[in-house]
């Protein structure tokens, strides 16, 4: 199992509107950008374990996600998993987060004010 410690923020719902001259763009929030850096470092530390866990698996890779949240505030699985999937691509865990390579699966969640994060693991559907 791979563990990313810390509160995971939605990269979709926390976007900021910025202007570059005459252009307007949506960019990720500061919290989401910090999450990416934080997740990337943790994922790199656990890359060897992931490679052993996925040896012999073929795409698309089904990955189960269990989120640990700080509050009972409503949240959207797809929005949170998107940030984690982006970090997984960047760290080389998956080639791409498209449906040909990656199928995220909800494995549950809990609220724990002392220990937020996400646990995930590959599931061999073969």
pLDDT in tens, the chain (126 residues): 999 999 887 765 556 676 778 888 766 667 777 777 889 999 999 999 999 999 999 999 999 999 999 999 999 999 899 989 999 999 999 999 999 999 999 999 999 999 999 999 999 775
pTM of the model: 0.84
> What DSSP line would sit under 87-126, residue for residue?
HHHHTTSSS-SSTTTEEEEEEEEEE-TT--EEEEEEE---
Residue 119 CA: distances (Å) to CA of 6, 23, 42, 59, 87? 11, 39, 12, 21, 14
């Amino acid at each position: 199992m791979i563990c990313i410690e810390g509160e995971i923020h939605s990269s979709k719902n926390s976007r900021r509107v910025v202007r570059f001259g005459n252009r307007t763009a949506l960019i990720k929030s500061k919290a989401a950008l910090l999450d990416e850096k934080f997740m990337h470092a943790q994922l790199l530390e656990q890359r060897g374990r992931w490679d052993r866990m996925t040896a012999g698996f073929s795409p698309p890779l089904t990955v189960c996600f269990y989120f640990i949240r700080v509050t009972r505030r409503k949240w959207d699985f797809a929005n949170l998993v998107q940030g984690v999937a982006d970090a997984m691509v960047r760290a080389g865990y998956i080639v791409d987060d498209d449906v040909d390579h990656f199928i995220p699966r909800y494995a549950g969640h809990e609220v724990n004010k002392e220990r937020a994060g996400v646990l995930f693991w590959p599931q061999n559907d073969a």
